[in-house]
Structure 1
Amino acid sequence: MPGVTDEAATPTAPRPRLIATDLDGTLLRDDKSVSPRTITALAAAEKAGIEVCFVTGRPARWMGVVSDHVHGHGTAICANGASVVDLHRGGELTEVRPLAEADALAVVTALRAVAPAVTFAVERTAGIHYEPHYPPFHLDPAATVAPVTKLLSAESGHADEPVLKLLAHHTELDPDEFLSLARTAGGHRADFTRSSPSALLEVSARGVSKASTLARWCAARGIEAADVVAFGDMPNDIEMLSWAGTSYAMANAHPEVLAATTHRTASNAQDGVAMVIEQLLHAL
């Protein structure tokens, strides 16, 4: 099949029970749309008895782009595993794995010590809030803008909303160097990853990742890792791709993702996920 490598030509799982796919840079095209071909492939997979679960760094409120294309259970894993949402119920949270404010503050202190120009945002269950010099989120006009110490305090006005993740942005550091630096400085208090082409880090509670939440969700349904086919493109996908029985890196994937997977497919712009689903269903 054009655009799919030899490794992807014959999916190794005899009959997968679940397709777990990242969104940005993977399932979605660069304009953040779901192509007609991909919509058809997702529906065909569900019709064949293969569930589809979106596993993304996005918060629940940014899932409208795919909410119409979730079938069956309607579940999505958001915020890099910090929340599980029911898209059939408008993004209702069904599980939260929060980052403790004390750990978030410890990370702030650690990163400020090694990268003084870093700025922070706090992603809570009901929205995002950020520091004055942090790149503004135009999709969240109701965000509170204040120093991160206030955003993580009882004075924030949002203390009753659990923290899903801390975001750390730097304007000068190389993204991968920033990630390595942060893990060394604060890795004992939280887990660090990245999914943006810029030096933007995503900080979750220790042990919280796409992989760990997906594994918990699958275990509750009797789905083993060998039953899962996963797709991704960035470092925040690596653990999930390593856990799944069969995994595919997009042609546009980060070098570390390409190194962590044995299967390849075409880029997100070429409907690489749909290509594999079509071929898998044809084999079945």
Structure 2
Amino acid sequence: MHRPHLIASDVDGTLVTPLERFTDRTRAVLRQVHQDDVPFVLVSGRPPRWIPPIANPAGITGYAVCANGAVIYDIAADRVISTRHLPPVTLRDAAEAIVGVLPRARFGAERVGTSATDSSVARIVTESAFHNPWGDDTECDTGSRADVLGTAAIKLLVSDERMASEEMAAAATSVLDGSVAVTYSSNGGLIEISAVSVTKATGLAEIVDWFDVDPGNVIAFGDMPNDVAMLGWAGHGVAVANAHPAVLEVADEITGPNTEDGVAQVLERWF
């Protein structure tokens, strides 16, 4: 591939180490990308509130695609630009169908305000037995299933720590009949549901249009099934070596793992 006109990268498992840190090598190549005025876009399953702790220490100030494509976020301005919500009726219908095949499922709903720091919105509400594979969230409110499903959300989270995420996704997909988008970014018994046709690829495409960049000149990095659509859409899709088999299968290239600066290994060809 020639020098990319825009770079997009997943965060966890791809760009940062398992301790959610940037190595000096990765920081150095990101600085060079910035100096060369090449847009660098974070594309993550994370909600906007989890972007600044990653972006700020690395000096990343552009745009982020959050919640698997449901939110476009301006990092420097701390401003949510656009959202794709699941309305309450869709949340309830999806939950009812899922319980039919995953009877132990517990639900959470991710919501968003006008910024990452907007405290006027209960940003995540979960049932009491909801299992978060990323650990306890201090900003999480606990409520009934009706509380979780009664307000529009950018993402519906479904947990069952006794199951594999892949198994859960297959079961949910079988009963949801394409009415929503189902994916996962963790192996820890959690699937993530977005509005129909929302993927990291659709969110990234919106930003790429703003820069008037041809998708063929975009390079994208990822590691989990929620990255598959993005890697397939970009002109050059790169999987880190620790990626899920579904990601390795669609990638144009496989680089080193996130523990060995896999993203930097590729970008150093040009920056």
Gap regions ≥5 residues in structure 2: 113-120
Moved over 3 A (4+): 136-140
How is 1:104-183 mapped onto 2 (pairs within 5 angstroms)? 104-125=91-112, 126=121, 127-135=123-131, 140-153=137-150, 159=151, 162-183=152-173
SS of the aligned residue for 1:140 comes to coil
Which deviations, in whole Å up to 9, do the C-alpha atoms of 1:28-80 show, x marking residues without a partner? 100011111111101111222321000000011111122343456x2111111
Match of 1:39 in 2: 27
248, 254, 259: which is aligned to 1:258? 248
- Larger Cα Rg: Structure 1 or Structure 2? 1
20, 23, 39: which is aligned to 2:11? 23
- Structure-2 change in CA distance of 1:70 and 1:98 (3 Å): farther
Aligned-partner residue type, residue 134 of structure 1: F
Aligned-partner residue type, residue 124 of structure 1: R
Please state how far the C-alpha of 1:86 moved relative to its aligned partner.
Answer: 1.2
Please state how far the C-alpha of 1:172 moved relative to its aligned partner.
Answer: 2.5
- Structure-2 change in CA distance of 1:28 and 1:278 (3 Å): same
58, 82, 85: which is aligned to 1:69? 58
Alpha-carbon distance in structure 1 between the residues aligned to 2:13 and 2:7: 16
Alpha-carbon distance in structure 2 between the residues aligned to 1:237 and 1:142: 26
Task: Tell me, yes or no, if structure 1 residue 278 matches structure 2 residue 268.
Answer: yes
Larger RCO: 1 or 2 (CA < 8 Å, sep 6+): 1
CA RMSD of aligned residues (A): 1.6
CA contact 1:122–1:148 (8 Å) conserved in 2 = no
CA contact 1:110–1:185 (8 Å) conserved in 2 = yes
The answer to which of 144-153 and 131-140 deviates more is 131-140
Please state how far the C-alpha of 1:138 moved relative to its aligned partner.
Answer: 5.9
Alpha-carbon distance in structure 2 between the residues aligned to 1:204 and 1:211: 13
Which deviations, in whole Å up to 9, do the C-alpha atoms of 1:240-270 show, x marking residues without a partner? 0000001110000001100111201000010
CA contact 2:107–2:148 (8 Å) conserved in 1 = no
CA contact 1:165–1:204 (8 Å) conserved in 2 = yes
CA contact 2:111–2:155 (8 Å) conserved in 1 = yes
Alpha-carbon distance in structure 2 between the residues aligned to 1:24 and 1:138: 14
Please state how far the C-alpha of 1:141 moved relative to its aligned partner.
Answer: 2.7
Please state how far the C-alpha of 1:140 moved relative to its aligned partner.
Answer: 3.4
Match of 1:3 in 2: none
Query: Structure 2 length normalisation: TM-score?
Result: 0.91
Query: Structure 1 length normalisation: TM-score?
Result: 0.87
CA contact 1:17–1:49 (8 Å) conserved in 2 = no
Alpha-carbon distance in structure 1 between the residues aligned to 2:202 and 2:210: 13
Match of 1:86 in 2: 74
CA contact 1:19–1:51 (8 Å) conserved in 2 = yes
SS of the aligned residue for 2:76 comes to helix
Match of 1:9 in 2: none
Which deviations, in whole Å up to 9, do the C-alpha atoms of 1:212-245 show, x marking residues without a partner? 1111221232111101000000000000000000
Gap regions ≥5 residues in structure 1: 1-11, 154-158
Alpha-carbon distance in structure 1 between the residues aligned to 2:84 and 2:13: 25
